[in-house]
């Protein structure tokens, strides 16, 4: 298998705007689906469990890793939150969907943590290279087979991407900022043609999304409910809101370093828990082996638990983001936006809302492990009420104009955050800030119609600046809530994507950062640390920064 240091990276967006998504999926489905990797949050305490696993093995709070050899066999009993929407590998509809189904599907590449760095490793790909600035050539593992016995071929890869672009229900297309043409050169060689311009983040995007589909299985069945992949586990059953079962793929084509066939586990049974407390209690009663997220208020206790093991993602799991409605007062005035950012006390917000299980970011939305560092100072570090008052005096709109922020019912962390910010802004700046709690579909529709003051949300899996900026700063992009447009940024984003030299790209991203800081158009204030817990018999589980759950080399110490 080929491994490459992360030198070029990620994302993309099709021609679909947010309104196109609503038309295709409907507001309720779109709200749930796109909250998966964008606009979502890694968790709420109380009734809502949040949405993700940990980071890329960033910090392990308790270590009971055995030095014994991996053991083959056993069933992993896993507890997870509600949220599966589809089992189709061409979708990013619901974070929990792809957290589960990427154990069923293989991707071309995957992200892995190597010390303090992120690297791309081959999954189906054995090697890959840029033949020229616009042609990426990927060689496939010739031993790979699908669960129906069909060999994995370059035609299957081309079919996967052809259908991805042609059929709007396959929402992974939203993460490709530039169209590509995919074709088979021979049975096990795939060509990605990026057209007239380079697509510097393509490799990184392929490491994040798109499970490769078997053409025959897709035409004969329904991948959304009965998936057929080439990954380590074979789908058995999904009962919505209750469970997902999968079994070891006996003909899986990968081995470990000692020549033992993977995966080690015989079976995974995911049980879906609407309530986080019940899920945690079940783990403590030793009726589960692993859970996807520890409620924030319980993290300290579970870290000091007598037996349970925890994994803390550290920085990089979920990036928080504030998006202002720049189309209407009071946030149509950049001085009001800047004043609000100076008036926010994020140390208090993170301590109260996240119980300290989060850390301050520097207004650049890419994990530090990625190696990207434009080295631009964030002027909004620390609360500065005096500067906030000076900016309000310069504003050309009435900063006391009433506005309402909508928050999803049951999302307790985000509700708490909004309440804290409401108190800070109303008391310190005399603003007229209201909060309305509503169903997720209502929140999504109100935000899509720019009927709000500012949103506080999150996203995951973005390891290349192009990924985030293409969907968050480009005019009309589906995750650009609030209508923020900066004409220079509109030119810089594609220019950086179509530049192949990393140092030059980083310089361009520094210029982009300077622009949105000067406008206070967006703000990226914190990293949410996702913490998972498991029994000490669970071995070799390494959470991933892109929030996938990867059980290929997890094993159970059956003597414990």
Which domains are seen in the chain, by residue range?
106-220 (3.90.76.10), 233-311+536-556 (3.40.190.10), 318-528 (3.10.105.10)
What torsion, rounded to 10 degrees, do the Cα atoms 399, 404, 408, 410 define?
90
Note the pLDDT of residue 37. Answer: 53
pLDDT tens across 388-437, in order? 999 999 999 999 999 999 999 888 899 999 999 999 999 999 999 999 99
The CA-atom distances, in angstroms, between 467 and each of 148, 202, 432, 454 are: 34, 9, 35, 22
Other Cβ atoms less than 10 A from the Cβ of 243: the count is 15
Note the pLDDT of residue 258. Answer: 94
Say yes or no to pLDDT of 528 above 80. yes
The three-class DSSP label of residue 39 is strand
d(CA 327, CA 483): 6
Average pLDDT over residues 113-118: 78
The DSSP secondary-structure symbol of 388 reads: H
Note the pLDDT of residue 167. Answer: 86
The CA-atom distances, in angstroms, between 227 and each of 149, 155, 253 are: 14, 18, 18
pLDDT tens across 208-250, in order? 899 999 999 999 999 999 999 999 999 999 999 999 999 999 9
| Residue 506 · residue 8 · CB < 8 Å | no
d(CA 291, CA 289): 7
Q: Which range (25-34, 74-83, 230-239) has the least confidence?
A: 25-34
Note the pLDDT of residue 315. Answer: 77
Note the pLDDT of residue 318. Answer: 85
Average pLDDT of the chain?
Answer: 88
Q: Which range (30-39, 195-204, 279-288, 529-538) has the least confidence?
A: 30-39
67: buried, middle or exposed (CB in 10 Å: 19+, 13-18, 0-12)?
exposed
Task: Using pLDDT thresholds of 50, 70 and 90, give the confidence band for residue 45.
Answer: low
Q: Which range (141-155, 340-354, 439-453, 492-506) has the least confidence?
A: 439-453
Task: Using pLDDT thresholds of 50, 70 and 90, give the confidence band for residue 73.
Answer: very high
What percent of the chain has a predicted confidence (pLDDT) above 70? 88
Say yes or no to pLDDT of 91 above 50. yes
Average pLDDT over residues 489-504: 97
Note the pLDDT of residue 66. Answer: 52
Residue 164: which of 175, 153, 151, 150 has the closest Cα? Answer: 175
pLDDT tens across 289-321, in order? 999 999 999 999 999 999 999 988 777 778 999
Note the pLDDT of residue 313. Answer: 79
**43 vs 514, more confident:** 514
| Residue 402 · residue 431 · CB < 8 Å | no
Average pLDDT over residues 338-357: 96
Its pTM surpasses 0.95:
no
Structure-token pair, residue 442: 């209502």
Interacting residues of 151 by C-beta distance below 8 A, sequence separation 6+: 144, 145
Task: Using pLDDT thresholds of 50, 70 and 90, give the confidence band for residue 113.
Answer: confident
pLDDT tens across 322-334, in order? 999 999 999 999 9
Say yes or no to pLDDT of 47 above 50. no
pLDDT tens across 127-160, in order? 999 999 999 999 999 999 999 999 999 999 999 9
What percent of the chain has a predicted confidence (pLDDT) above 90? 73
Residue 100: which of 90, 86, 114 has the closest Cα? Answer: 86
pLDDT tens across 161-172, in order? 999 988 888 988
């Amino acid at each position: 298998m080929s491994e490459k240091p992360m030198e070029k990276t990620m994302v993309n967006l099709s021609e679909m705007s947010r309104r196109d998504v609503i038309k295709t999926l409907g507001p309720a489905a779109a709200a749930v689906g796109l909250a998966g990797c964008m606009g979502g949050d890694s968790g709420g305490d109380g009734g809502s469990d949040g949405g993700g696993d940990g980071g890329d093995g960033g910090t392990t709070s308790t270590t009971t890793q055995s030095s014994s050899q991996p053991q083959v066999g056993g069933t992993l009993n896993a507890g997870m939150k509600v949220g599966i929407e589809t089992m189709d590998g061409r979708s990013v509809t619901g974070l929990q969907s792809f957290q589960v189904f990427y154990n069923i599907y293989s991707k071309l590449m995957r992200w892995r943590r190597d010390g303090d760095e992120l690297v791309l490793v081959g999954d189906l790909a054995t090697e890959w290279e840029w033949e020229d600035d616009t042609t990426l050539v990927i060689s496939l593992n010739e031993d790979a087979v699908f669960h129906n016995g069909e060999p994995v071929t370059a035609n299957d890869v081309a079919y996967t991407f052809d259908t991805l672009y042609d059929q709007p229900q396959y929402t992974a297309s939203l993460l490709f900022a530039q169209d590509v043409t995919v074709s088979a050169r021979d049975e096990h060689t795939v060509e990605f043609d990026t057209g007239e311009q380079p697509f510097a983040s393509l490799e990184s995007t392929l490491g994040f999304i798109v499970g490769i589909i078997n053409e025959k299985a897709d035409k004969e069945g329904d991948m959304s409910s009965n998936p057929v992949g080439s990954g380590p586990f074979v789908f058995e059953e999904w009962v919505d809101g209750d469970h997902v079962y999968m079994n070891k793929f006996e003909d899986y084509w990968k081995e470990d370093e000692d020549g033992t066939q993977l995966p080690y586990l015989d079976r995974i049974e995911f049980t879906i828990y609407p309530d986080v407390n019940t899920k945690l209690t079940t783990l403590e009663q030793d009726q589960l082996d692993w859970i996807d997220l520890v409620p924030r208020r319980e993290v300290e206790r579970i870290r000091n638990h007598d037996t349970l093991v925890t994994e803390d993602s550290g920085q990089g799991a979920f990036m928080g983001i504030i998006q202002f409605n720049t189309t209407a007062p009071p946030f149509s005035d950049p001085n009001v936006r800047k004043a609000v950012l100076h008036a926010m006390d994020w140390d208090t917000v993170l301590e109260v809302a996240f119980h300290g299980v989060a850390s301050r970011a520097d207004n650049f939305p890419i994990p530090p492990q990625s190696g990207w560092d434009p080295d631009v100072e964030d002027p909004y570090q620390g609360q500065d009420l005096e500067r906030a008052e000076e900016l309000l005096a310069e504003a050309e709109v009435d900063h006391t104009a009433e506005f309402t922020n909508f928050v999803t019912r049951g999302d307790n962390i985000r509700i708490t955050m909004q309440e804290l910010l409401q108190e800070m802004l109303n008391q310190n700046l005399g603003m007229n800030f209201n909060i309305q709690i509503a169903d997720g579909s209502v929140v999504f529709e109100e935000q899509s119609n720019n009927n709000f003051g500012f949103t506080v949300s999150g996203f995951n899996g973005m390891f290349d600046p192009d990924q985030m900026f293409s969907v968050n700063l480009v005019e009309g992009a589906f995750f650009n809530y609030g209508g923020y447009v900066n004409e220079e940024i509109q030119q810089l984003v594609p220019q950086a994507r179509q530049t192949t030299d990393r140092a030059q790209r980083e310089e361009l991203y520094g210029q982009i950062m300077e622009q949105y800081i000067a406008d206070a158009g967006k703000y990226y204030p914190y990293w949410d640390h996702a913490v998972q817990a498991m029994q000490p018999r669970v071995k070799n589980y390494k959470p991933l920064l892109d929030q996938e759950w990867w059980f290929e080399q997890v094993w159970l110490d059956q003597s414990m």
